[in-house]
Amino acid sequence: MAKRSPAITELVVEGVAVPPFIRPPGCPKTLLLAAAGERGLDVNGTFIKYTVHGFYLEESAVELLAAGKWKGKTADQLTASNDFYIDIVKGPFEKLSRVTLLQPLTGPQFSTKVAENCTAIWRRNGTDVEAQRGVLAEFHEIFKSEMLLPNSVLFFAYHPSGTLEIVISENGAVPETGKVIKSRALSEALLDSIIGEHGVSPMLKRCLALRMSQLMNES
């Protein structure tokens, strides 16, 4: 079973300890750590690391992905295949992103960048962007009065129902429920922006391929 695999360990990225297991808001299941990595941006020629992302999956995801075309693939093969990451984005299992701030950001700065990334994905996929304006307004509303300080932790739970559940935590604790946006389009676009073809953290994507290759070949 994946929970007993030696591959499921705590990861430390930029001094941030990302725990091996987590229980998402709005979900009774415990998810396993599938990857971790930093996200940064080039600012006037200087690369600044802004966040550390941990990405979690429920255990059944390993078996579902292995039962398809991914069992036996190497980490290099998985890394090179956007279809692998999209199968995770659209997979019928619980997923969660744990985002730890390294640099201070205002809530509007954060939500605006996320909205830009999701909008770019919708345009590439042929999704009607205008039809998503209300959903983006809900997302901006959650962050509009927030100040995200270093070591603040954001949780984004991607439920199989298509809902996105969001928690803003100052101490890293995960409450039983968060703020819910009922939009599969937003939920999938947000996760796609993290691990998809233009994902914001190459280190996270590589780590995901390495761990999933090991777990699927053990399953």
Measuring CA to CA, how many Å separate 21 from each of 28, 54, 55, 59, 206?
13, 10, 10, 11, 20
pLDDT at 68: 79
The 10 Å Cβ neighbour count of residue 81 is 15
- Ordered by start, the domain boundaries in the chain are 2-218
Fold of the CATH domain 2-218 = Chalcone isomerase (3.50.70)
pLDDT tens digit at each of 219 positions of the chain: 444 566 689 999 999 999 999 999 888 999 999 999 999 877 778 888 999 999 999 999 999 999 979 999 999 999 999 999 999 999 999 999 999 999 999 999 999 999 999 999 999 999 999 999 999 999 999 999 999 999 999 999 999 999 999 999 987 788 888 999 999 999 999 999 999 998 889 999 999 999 999 999 887
